[in-house]
Amino acid sequence: MFEIKKILSQYITDKDDLETNNMILDLVDDVSKKEIEPYAREMDRHGVKLENGKVIVHPQVHKILKVLKQNELFGLTVPEKYGGAAMGATIQNTVMERFSRADASTSLYHALQGTAVEMMKKYASEVLKEKYFPKIAKGERLIGLLYSEPNSGSDLGSLRAKAVREGDNYIANGNKIWISSAGIVNSYTTLLQTDPSKGSRGLTAFVIDADQPGFKVDRIEEKLGLHASPTGSIVLDNVEIPVENRIGEEGKGFSAVLYGLASSRIGISAQAVGIADAAYRKAVAYASEREQFKTKILDFQANQFKIAEMATRIHLARNYYVYASRLKENEQDFGMEASLAKAFAGDMAQYVTYEAIQLHGGYGYTVEYDVERYYRDARITSIYEGTNEVQRIIIARAEIPKYAKKDN
C-alpha cells in the first residue's frame, strides 16, 4: 500500500483529494482481502463454461460483482450529475492495480467499465449518457468492449461486422471474438461498419445491449491465463440498436474507440503492475524461508540482485502509469505515454513473474503456489488493448519525427 500512496502524495496537492483517493484504495484493499484474493486460485481452477447458451463462472465472481456494486466502486469516473464519483484516471488505475494484485481475471470488470465510461464521456450524446451512466454508476449495468473480429485484431480499421440503418434502429450483423466478460456484462461499446466503401472512415461506434434478440455468445475460449474471466465469441444476428445508442456521428467511431483504448492502456499497465507486485511479494516471502546449502536462498546475492531488479522495474512501471494517468486527467496529450506505460509494464510483468517462479524453483511450477497463475495471467498484458508491437509503433511515430534528420 505504501508505494502507491507515496507516489500519489507527490502528484495530488489537495489534501482532501488525497484523503479521498487513499480511502478508496483502503476500501479496495479491504474488499480484495476478504472477497477476491482468498478465492483467486479456486476461481482460476473452476474456469468458465458455456452451458445451454449460458456463461457459467465461479459463484464467487457474482459475489465479487455484488460487493463492488454495494461499495459503489463501478461509478468512480462517472460524472457526478449521473450519480458517479467523478474521479479521474489516477484513482481508476491505481484501483485497477490493487484489484489485479488480488486477481487479474476479476479486475477486468473494473477496467472495462472504466474504458467504456471514458469513451462515452467524450463522445456520447447527452441522451445516451442519461440512458446509461446512472445505471453504470450504480453497477446495475456492466459494460464491455465488443471490437475484435476473426480477421481484425491489431488492424481494427478493417472491421467487417455491419450496422444498417432502418428507421429508428440500426440492424447489426457479424462476428466478434475475444470478448472479455462475454455473457456476464449487460452492454458493450462496439464498432460496426456503416459504410464499407469508406474503410475505417465508415466505422461507427454504438452501445449495444446483450439482452437484445439475436445477440448470442456462441463460444468460450480455453486459454493460458485469466481463467476466471470469460473470453467469448459473439454472433450478431439482426440485433437492433436504437439510433440514440450511436456514439457520435456515423463514420466517426474509429477515433472514438482509439481514444477509449488509449485510456484503457494505462489501466492495463496498472494491471501488469498489480500482477507483478503480487508475484514479487510472494517470491521475496518464499525466498526468506527456503533454505538450500544450509542458507536461506534470500541470502545468496544472486537472488538479492534478482529481487532488486524486480523491484526496480515494478517501481518504474508504477510511477509511469501514474504519470500517464495524471496527464490524462489534466487533459493533456497522453496517447504516447499510455503506449509507453503499457509496453514497459507488459514486458516488466513477464520478467517479474518469470523470476518469481525461478525463485520458487520447482515448487513455483506447480499449482500449489500462486506464482504459476501470475505468470500465466501476466502474459495477456502485452497482447490485449493493443499488442506491445502496436504500442511501439505508436511510440516510434511520436518520437522519430522529433529527432530524425529531415533530409535522410
Ligand X SMILES: Cc1cc2nc3c(=O)[nH]c(=O)nc-3n(C[C@H](O)[C@H](O)[C@H](O)COP(=O)(O)OP(=O)(O)OC[C@H]3O[C@@H](n4cnc5c(N)ncnc54)[C@H](O)[C@@H]3O)c2cc1C
Binding-site member from 60, 106, 113, 148 for ligand X (CB under 6 A) = 148
Question: Taking CB under 6 A as the rule, does residue 257 contact ligand X?
Answer: no
CA-based radius of gyration for the chain: 21
Binding-site member from 123, 178, 254, 369 for ligand X (CB under 6 A) = 178
Q: What is residue 205's DSSP assignment?
A: E
List the one residue out of 108, 106, 105, 114 whose CA is nearest residue 137: 114
Q: Is 385 a catalytic residue?
A: yes
Q: How many CA atoms lie within 13 A of 252 on its CB side?
A: 9
Q: Which residue has the CB atom at the shortest distance from ligand X?
A: 153
Question: Taking CB under 6 A as the rule, does residue 154 contact ligand X?
Answer: yes
Min separation Cβ 257 and ligand X, Å: 9
Min separation Cβ 373 and ligand X, Å: 14
Question: Residue with C-alpha cell 463514420?
Answer: 251
Question: Taking CB under 6 A as the rule, does residue 224 contact ligand X?
Answer: no
Q: Which of residues 87-146 bind ligand X (CB under 6 A)?
A: 144-145
Min separation Cβ 153 and ligand X, Å: 2
Question: Taking CB under 6 A as the rule, does residue 380 contact ligand X?
Answer: yes
Min separation Cβ 87 and ligand X, Å: 23
* C-alpha cell recorded at residue 28: 479496495
| Choice between 282 and 342, CB closer to ligand X | 342
* C-alpha cell recorded at residue 202: 465508415
| Choice between 218 and 309, CB closer to ligand X | 218
| Choice between 120 and 380, CB closer to ligand X | 380
Rounded to whole angstroms, what are the CA distances from 17 to 22, 121, 251, 308? Answer: 9, 21, 39, 32
Contact 297, 287 (CB under 8 A): yes
End-to-end CA distance of the chain: 49
Alpha-carbon gap, residue 20 to 11, rounded angstroms: 14
Question: Taking CB under 6 A as the rule, does residue 226 contact ligand X?
Answer: yes
DSSP class per residue in 24-40: HHHHHHHHIIIIIGGGH
Secondary structure (3-state) at 329: helix
Binding-site member from 106, 231, 271, 353 for ligand X (CB under 6 A) = 231
Binding-site member from 235, 379, 387, 398 for ligand X (CB under 6 A) = 387
Element spanning 279, H or E: helix 253-287
Question: Taking CB under 6 A as the rule, does residue 249 contact ligand X?
Answer: no
Question: Taking CB under 6 A as the rule, does residue 384 contact ligand X?
Answer: yes
Q: Given 37, 166, 385, 389, which residue is catalytic? A: 385
Min separation Cβ 390 and ligand X, Å: 6
Question: Taking CB under 6 A as the rule, does residue 153 contact ligand X?
Answer: yes
* C-alpha cell recorded at residue 47: 474456469
Min separation Cβ 383 and ligand X, Å: 6
Alpha-carbon gap, residue 55 to 182, rounded angstroms: 8
Listed in sequence order, the residues at least 6 apart from 115 whose beta carbon sits closer than 8 Å to its beta carbon are 145, 189, 260, 261, 263, 264, 267
Binding-site member from 92, 180, 204, 245 for ligand X (CB under 6 A) = 180
User: Using CB under 6 A as the criterion, which residues of the chain lie in contact with ligand X when the complex forms?
Assistant: 144-145, 147-148, 153-154, 178-180, 223, 226, 231, 380, 383-384, 386-387, 389-390, 393
- Catalytic residue ranges: 385
